Structure 1
């Protein structure tokens, strides 16, 4: 596990306290209240310094992460939001919920309600993925099924159910008609969305697979595992072109690793990934060596990560706050909490 690292230098309670400590964000808003009123389940990045989040308060919230202010707030789900996603190029947001539906919202529309509702899953919708290259929606549920949907009509195009395939997360492969999926049956599947068939099934892990992300070049997939008491909780790197097995594992979380992201190119002088865990830590790792480069300690069980800008990314948690994180690399990588909103 290694020696526990010191806490980040900028461990603020709100934006007001960060103005003098973090001058690199001069426009940071004076937020005294979090964007949500309950736990944040999912966060995704938008264009123009904006992000979208969803949580236990049933709200879908668009914020300016640079300023920390709420831009828009959407209501319509009967139960808590589980996942969010977006097609920023088309101006649409998507939210999945425990009410078994997915809703599409117009980011620039003046309408208060959802532009479209996708209904058909029998249980909680726990996976959501959209792609600008293939303008369709892919969803997964605890009902063991994966579905594709027509964005214009809301009609279900295809539905496939596999025994014990309790979906935990979906992620589109950039520029390809493929979606990666993690499951409670401890596997990672690659779906060909054209006919909605399983193109590949990676060897099962020892723990439930909780989330996944795909590198910007579409070559690698990253997945995270459940865990408790320093058992499990690892992240695993898979090569989507050489699908014989895992490439590398990243160990260090004490509990379930709940989310993972590939950090954008140019974030540092070396390739990196980030993971978040129910143990309250965010870690940045070297892809080349598998070593943990830096750790930040936050409040609550962490739920979701999203890259949002050069050297910055967002983290949702079981608290109502969204954390803004930054990797500084002047003297080696150092992960800091810049602010939260």
Structure 2
């Protein structure tokens, strides 16, 4: 486990002199940096202390300073677009899943090539979750399977198949051996990673479940849904009342829903818990194919702030860096750095893009 304990040692403070999030110029101005990817960004995840990892349709995995937009490392190895990226926060390893049916592990301080391959799925890999100590990895695919891997050896430690379980997302419960999984069969499952068995299945929803997240204390789980305001593709139907929604679940009392968050008018593509800030009530953030990001009060389900990223196209992924910083991956305009500010009246603004 020696290598797994190594800390990320990039000295990111040296990138703050120019174009940092803390120096955005006039109010309302957004710093534009060189893009991290040459095509749509499909997934973004936060790293410590001031880094992020992202994957895109350009088949590459990038490690960047979100404060400056500077690209620090770029990993090339996938044959098709990257679908998901993740990392254990205190590990020097990042992981990427792809439409090429494989998962790869990369060393932040190593060579540009992958340090480990995980080839075991028959279709595109759409779920990726690493244990807190980065010793184990769970992957999910549209082939209806969830797999568990040893990250050191690349050995497949388990494989479970459930009919119609087209995996859309995976996340590991902090401090626990459990993994949350969403699916196109409209259900959210809790897996016990020790035996790779389903420990609980939440009641099926009316729409495909697209994403999930777990609160830092491991108590609450979020899942988001696909949807459309109308049955067709007409733009005039987006203002309908059949908005997409999210569910908040209490993992200690799994008999029913705790709260719903309604407001997006197209598929809710990503959902994350925001780390608690000194003046910020428990909050969550969501992104959508309707090009908006919303921040919600976790307890009351009140929408506290909405930001429309015009021209960005569908938004694919969110990452919470700290209590005041969100990263949002978009189809047309790279990675957006968003600032959450205020307490009684919350403000959400874009401060940079790269």
Query: Partners in 2 of 1:116 and 1:232 — Cα distance?
Result: 42
* Pair 22,118 (structure 1): closer, same or farther in 2 beyond 3 Å: farther
Query: Partners in 2 of 1:145 and 1:322 — Cα distance?
Result: 30
Correspondences of 1:201-212 after superposition (within 5 Å): 201-212=201-212
SS at match of 2:258: strand
Query: Partners in 2 of 1:338 and 1:91 — Cα distance?
Result: 28
SS at match of 1:170: strand
Correspondences of 1:135-150 after superposition (within 5 Å): 135-150=135-150
Query: How many Å apart are 1:335 and its aligned residue?
Result: 0.8
Partner of 2:74: 73
Correspondences of 1:91-102 after superposition (within 5 Å): 91-102=92-103
Query: Partners in 1 of 2:64 and 2:27 — Cα distance?
Result: 19
Partner of 2:44: 43
Is 1:305 aligned to 2:318, yes or no? yes
Is 1:52 aligned to 2:57, yes or no? no
Query: How many Å apart are 1:300 and its aligned residue?
Result: 1.0
Asked if 2 retains the 8 angstrom alpha-carbon contact of 1:29 and 1:68, the reply is: no
Q: Which runs of 5+ in 2 are unaligned?
A: 1-18, 230-239
Query: How many Å apart are 1:29 and its aligned residue?
Result: 7.6
Is 1:179 aligned to 2:179, yes or no? yes
Asked if 1 retains the 8 angstrom alpha-carbon contact of 2:32 and 2:352, the reply is: no
Correspondences of 1:234-253 after superposition (within 5 Å): 234-253=245-264
Partner of 1:321: 334
Partner of 1:6: none
Asked if 2 retains the 8 angstrom alpha-carbon contact of 1:128 and 1:138, the reply is: yes
The runs of 4+ residues in structure 1 deviating greater than 4 Å are 15-18
More RCO (CA 8 Å, sep 6+): 1
* Pair 328,257 (structure 1): closer, same or farther in 2 beyond 3 Å: same
Query: Partners in 1 of 2:323 and 2:220 — Cα distance?
Result: 21
Partner of 2:307: 296
Query: How many Å apart are 1:320 and its aligned residue?
Result: 4.3
Query: Partners in 1 of 2:31 and 2:154 — Cα distance?
Result: 37
Query: How many Å apart are 1:30 and its aligned residue?
Result: 6.6
TM-score, structure 1 as length reference: 0.91
Deviations 1:104-158 (A, max 9, x none): 000111x121000000100000000002246200000000000000111101100
Asked if 2 retains the 8 angstrom alpha-carbon contact of 1:226 and 1:232, the reply is: no
Query: How many Å apart are 1:268 and its aligned residue?
Result: 3.6
Is 1:269 aligned to 2:264, yes or no? no
Query: Partners in 2 of 1:219 and 1:88 — Cα distance?
Result: 19
Pairs aligned (count): 322
* Pair 331,246 (structure 1): closer, same or farther in 2 beyond 3 Å: closer
* Pair 180,16 (structure 1): closer, same or farther in 2 beyond 3 Å: closer
* Pair 218,91 (structure 1): closer, same or farther in 2 beyond 3 Å: same
